[in-house]
Amino acid sequence: MKKYIQSLNKAFENRIRLGIMSILMVNDSVEFSEMKEKLDITDGNLASHISALEKLEYVEVTKQFIGKKPNTVYAVTKSGKKAFNQHLDTLEKILKNRD
């Protein structure tokens, strides 16, 4: 069990980051306002957690203007998908091997 616990990805220990990744894994992309609403968090809270995931190259952030309005869109990267799937696989192993 100990080896599995050590294999968990620390980037996904926080419930907000876990939520962000879960949403992005089942959607091609998600706009800022939709992500904020789904997670029921503040702008700053979302921005700080996205920034942490972006630094790890798990999330890609695209900023653009639609007309004169700013639009921010998030998508999971290949390495983000791989890391999150490994994290989920480890959680499954922990659940299957409980003593």
* pLDDT tens figures, 43-97: 999 999 999 999 999 999 999 999 999 999 999 999 999 999 999 999 999 888 8
pTM passes above 0.75 = yes
* Per-residue pLDDT, 98: 61
Phi/psi at 27 (5° precision): -130, 140
Map out the domains of the chain with their CATH numbers: 2-93 (1.10.10.10)
Alpha-helical segments (H) within 8-77: 15-25, 32-39, 43-55
> How far out from the chain centre does Cα 58 lie?
7
